[in-house]
Structure 1
Amino acid sequence: MRIDAHHHLWDLKAVSYPWLMAKGVARFFGDPAPIQRDYLIAEFREDAAAQGFGGSVHIQVGAEDGLAEARWVQTVAEETPDWPMAQVVFCDLTAPDLDAQLDAFQALSTVRGVRQIVGRAPGEDAVTGTNALLDDPAFLRGLQLAGARGLSFDLQLIPELMEKTARVLAQAPETQVALCHAGSPHDRSAAGLAQWAKQMKALSALPQVTCKLSGLGMFDHDWTVDSIRPIVAECLAQFGASRVMFGSNFPVDSLSSDYATLAGAMRELVPEADHEEVFGGTAARFYGMGA
C-alpha cells in the first residue's frame, strides 16, 4: 500500500485553527488565503488515490485544542474505514499533566505519535521563541515518556537547530523520530544546501530518526524537479530508502503545486528500486500501518 505520510485536514466548523483564519497575515510558507477553507478527506483522497496512494498519516496542524482536533480526525478515520489513516497529534511535552494528556490521546486508536514544533523558519521562530524547547529539561522528559509509551515524535525544525536537537534526541533513544520536511532547508543557495546537508548528518547518524520528503515547496513556490533534486538525493544518501518516506504536506503545499505534479516529481527523483520503501514501506513500519 502506498502511504502519504504527511498531510492535513480541517473542517473549520468542527475545530478552531486560529493561525489559519488570521486574515492578511503572511506566513513563512506564503499567503494562506487560498487554503482558508475546509479541506476534507474526500478532496484529499481523490487527489492521493489518483496517484496510487491507499492510506495516509494525518499530522496535527495548529488547532486551538489539540485533543479536539485528534478526536475529529478519529471520527473521520472511522467514517472512512476503506482509507487507512493514522494520526500524529499535538501535545505539549512540557506539560505537568503530560501523562494524563497522553492517556486521553492514546484512547484513540489512530494515534501513533505527537508533534510539537521546534522550529518553523528563522523569522517566525524569533517571535515565537519555540526554539527554547531544546533547553527545557521537561521537553526531554516528555520525549522520553512518549517513547516509553510507544509513541513517535514528528520533528519540525530548521537546519540551524539540528546539531543541538540531535544531542537532545540522543538522550531519548527509545523515541522514534520523523524528521518533517527534510529538515526545512530554507536557504536554497548552493552554500545553504551544503550547510543543511552538513547539519543533517547529526540527525541521520541517530538510528531512531527517519526522514520525510515533504514540504519542499514551502520555502520555494517556484521549485522544479531539478531544483529539489539535490535535496531528495541527499536525504536518500544520508538515511537510505528504509528511513525515508514521502509526504505531500497538502493542502499547505498546494500553494506551490498540484498533487499530481508533486507526486510525479518525487517518483521521478526517487530511484525506482526505492519506490516501495519511500512511498509506503517506511511509513507502514514507522506508523504501524498495514503494508
Structure 2
Amino acid sequence: MRIDAHHHLWDLSAVNYPWLMEKGVIRFFGDPSSIQRDYLLPEFRVDAEAQGVAASVHIQVGAVDPWAEAQWVQSIAEQFQDWPLVQVAYCDLTADDSEEQLDRLQTLSSVRGVRQIIGRAPGEDAKTGTNALLHNPKFLSGLRQLGSRGLSFDLQLLPELMDQTADVLANAPDTQVALCHAGSPYDRTSSGLLKWAEALKSLSDLPQVYCKLSGLGMFDQNWNAKSVSPIFSTCLSQFGADRCMFGSNFPVDSLSSTYEEVVSRHFELTPSSLQDDVFRKTSKRFYRI
C-alpha cells in the first residue's frame, strides 16, 4: 500500500474557497480555471488507486470557514471508511482563542495536525503578510501547544525564511513538523537550487522536521523527473528516506501533470531500497495512519 501524504478535496457547495473561485487570476501555480469545480474523494481514488495508493492525508486549503472544512473532511472520512483518510486542519496559532480552536479540532477523529502557511510565493506573501508569523511570540507558543497535544505542524514557506524558521522550531522540539513541497524551491536555476539546499540544512538538522516530496510542479509547469532530480537527491541526502514522504498535491498539481506522471516521476527518482519509506512507512508513522 502506498500513501499520498498531501492532497486536497473540495465540495464548492459545502465549503467556500475564495482563492480558488476568483475568476481571471493567474496564480503562482498556474491558471486555476480547470480546477474551479468540485473535486471529491471518488474522483481522487480512481487516479490514486491506479497507482497503488490506498490511504491519504487531506491538507487544509484556505477555506473561509476552516472549521466547516474540517467538519466536512471528517464527514468524508466517516462516509468512506474503506479509505483511510486523515487530515491536517487550519488553526490560527496566534489567536487568543487558539486553545479553544484546537480543543474543537481534536473532537474530530481524523485530525492529526495543523497547517498555518508562512510563505506561498514572493509576490503573494508581500500582500498577505504571513511571513510575520515568525516574529510573533504567540506563534511559538502555539507550536509548543501542538506538541503537548500530540498534534503535528505542516510547514509551508520559502527558502529565504528557512533559517529564521529553524530558530523558531528549535524552541518547540516536541512538535513534529512536515515541510511541505520540499520547502518550495521556486528558483530552479543552479544558483537558486544551491541557495535552497544550503538553507534547507537549517531545517533538516532538526530531528523533528520531516520533508514532503510534493508540489514540484507549482513553480515549474514543465517539470519532469530530470529537472527535479537535484531536489530529490538533496532531500533524500539531508533528511534520509525515513523522514521523507510522497505527496501528490492534487488537484493543484493536475495543472502541470497527471496523477500517474506525478507518481511515476517520484518513483523513478527514489532508489528502490528507499521506496517503501518514501511511499508508505514515513507518512504512516508521522500521521498515525
Distance 1:158 1:198 in 2: 13
CA distance, structure 2, for counterparts of residue 158 and residue 111 of structure 1: 25
Counting only pairs closer than 5 Å after superposition, residues 20-31 of structure 1 correspond to structure 2 as 20-31=20-31
Find the aligned partners of 2:27 and 2:153 in 1 and give their Cα distance: 24
Deviation at 1:114, TM superposition (A): 0.1
Cα distance between partner residues in 2 of 1:251 and 1:257: 10
More displaced 10-residue stretch of structure 1: 23-32 or 274-283: 23-32
Distance 2:221 2:21 in 1: 21
Look up the SS of the partner of 2:81 in the other structure: coil
- 1:187 match: 187
Alignment of 1:88-127 (within 5 A): 88-127=88-127
For the pair 1:221 / 2:221, whether they are aligned, the reply is: yes
Letter in 1 for 2:256: S
| Aligned partner of residue 139 in structure 2, secondary structure | helix
1:77-118: CA deviations, max 9, x gaps? 111111001100011000101111101100000000000000
Deviations 1:208-258 (A, max 9, x none): 000000000000000111001110111000000000000000000000000
Matched, 1:47 2:61: no
- Residue in 1 aligned with 2:198? 198
Q: Unaligned 5+ residue runs, structure 2?
A: none
Structure 1 residue 130: deviation in Å? 0.5
How far apart are the structure 2 equivalents of 1:32 and 1:225? Answer: 23
The superposition leaves residues 163-189 of structure 1 with CA deviations (integer Å, 9 ceiling, x where unpaired) of: 000000000001000000000000000
Quick one: distance in 2 between partners of 1:127 and 1:77? Answer: 34
Q: Shift of the alpha carbon at 1:46?
A: 0.7
Q: Which residue pairs with 2:241 in the alignment?
A: 241
Question: C-alpha separation between the residues in 2 aligned to 1:63 and 1:129?
Answer: 18
Q: Show the counterpart of 2:273.
A: 273
Q: Distance in 2 between matches of 1:74 and 1:128?
A: 28
Matched, 1:35 2:30: no
**How far is the alpha carbon of 1:127 from its aligned partner?**
1.1
TM-score w.r.t. length of structure 2: 0.99
Paired residue for 1:56? Answer: 56
Report the CA distance between 1:30 and its aligned residue: 1.0
The separation in 2 between residues aligned to 1:110 and 1:268, in whole angstroms, is 31
The equivalent of 2:140 in structure 1 is: 140
| Runs of 4 or more consecutive aligned structure 1 residues displaced over 4 Å after TM superposition | none
**CA-CA distance at 1:194 after TM superposition:** 0.3
Residues 125-149 of structure 1, C-alpha deviations (whole Å, 9 max, x = no match) = 1111110000000000000101110
For 1:47 and 1:76, how far apart are their aligned partners in 2? 18
SS at structure 1 position matched to 2:58: strand
CA RMSD of aligned residues (A): 0.5
Question: How many Å separate the matches in 2 of 1:40 and 1:105?
Answer: 22
- In the TM superposition, what is the alpha-carbon distance from 1:24 to its structure 2 partner? 1.0
Counterpart CA distance in 2 for 1:266 and 1:137 is 37
1:77 aligned partner:
77
Residue aligned with 1:178, SS: strand
Deviation at 1:31, TM superposition (A): 1.0
The residue type paired with residue 93 of structure 1 is L
Q: Helix, strand or coil: the match of 2:279?
A: helix
TM-fit CA distance, 1:27: 1.1
Q: Which amino acid aligns with 2:96?
A: P
Render the CA deviation track for 1:5-54: whole Å, top value 9, x for unaligned. Answer: 00000000010111111111121111111100000000101100000011
What is the aligned-residue identity percentage?
A: 66
Q: What is the distance in 2 between the residues matched to 1:45 and 1:213?
A: 20
Q: Which amino acid aligns with 2:146?
A: A
**Separation in 2, partners of 1:262, 1:25:** 25
Provide the rounded CA distance (Å) in 2 between the counterparts of 1:233 and 1:76: 36
SS in 2 for 1:10: coil
1:47 counterpart SS class: helix
- With structure 1 as the length reference, what TM-score do the two structures score? 0.99
